[in-house]
Amino acid sequence: FHLTGIGLISYWHWAYAWHHHLLDAHLDPRVYRLTMWRILTGPILSVVAICLSFVSLTLSVSVYMLLLLVYILPSRLDHRFGLGRRPTSLSPE
């Protein structure tokens, strides 16, 4: 339940900042929606895994493994801000 709670609190923070105009005025609404879905993916998959644990432990663990991949792999949002790129050289620029 921790992942669900933390994800929902993060969602609430992001929605609060958006609705009270605390974010950059030039923020693209698509970035807002993409961030909302990125935040909600964790709680949704956590609840699905918990529900599946009553049916099949194997399926439940598989969903949790998928959740790990969601958190580890860079998303479109990360690429948009230049995150998730591998450095091309080891020397500083």
pLDDT number for residue 53: 93
Structure tokens at 47: 């609840």
Sign of CA dihedral 40, 41, 44, 47: negative
Indicate if the pLDDT at residue 89 is higher than 50: no
pLDDT number for residue 34: 84
Model confidence over 23-77: pLDDT tens digits?
A: 887 878 888 888 888 889 889 999 999 999 999 999 999 998 998 888 887 766 6
pTM surpassing 0.75? no
pLDDT number for residue 60: 93
**Helix H or strand E segment including 24:** none
pLDDT number for residue 3: 76
